[in-house]
Amino acid sequence: MNLDQLLQEVASGRRGFQANGDSVNELSAFQSIAQLIIDAGNSGYLHGVIPRKESFTGNDFYSVVMVKGLTDLGNRHLDGDI
């Protein structure tokens, strides 16, 4: 998933992103997506980013990331204005 795909999914109404399961491999695979969402929030494309980490593997993996929606900057990016 890249930034454009992420913003499109949020624009379409998706508000939650999570690992496909609780195994170490599934949680590990989700980390790049979780970091993309967090970075998009920190860069001003998304608002209301709430990451949650699991505590049962000992790896401190992100397991779920919730978002409230796109910011004006996120909408402009999707519209190709920036």
Does 69 score more than 90 pLDDT?
yes
Burial group, residue 80, by CB count within 10 angstroms (0-12, 13-18, 19+)? exposed
Tally of structural domains, the chain:
1
Q: Which domain holds residue 28?
A: 3-79
11-43: pLDDT as tens digits: 999 999 999 999 999 999 999 999 999 999 999
Q: What's the gap between Cα 30 and its chain centre? A: 10
What pTM does this model have?
0.93
Mean pLDDT (the chain) is 96
* Whole-Å CA distances, 33 to 13, 25, 48, 51, 79: 17, 14, 16, 11, 22
Find, among 29, 27, 12, the residue nearest to 59 by Cα. Answer: 27
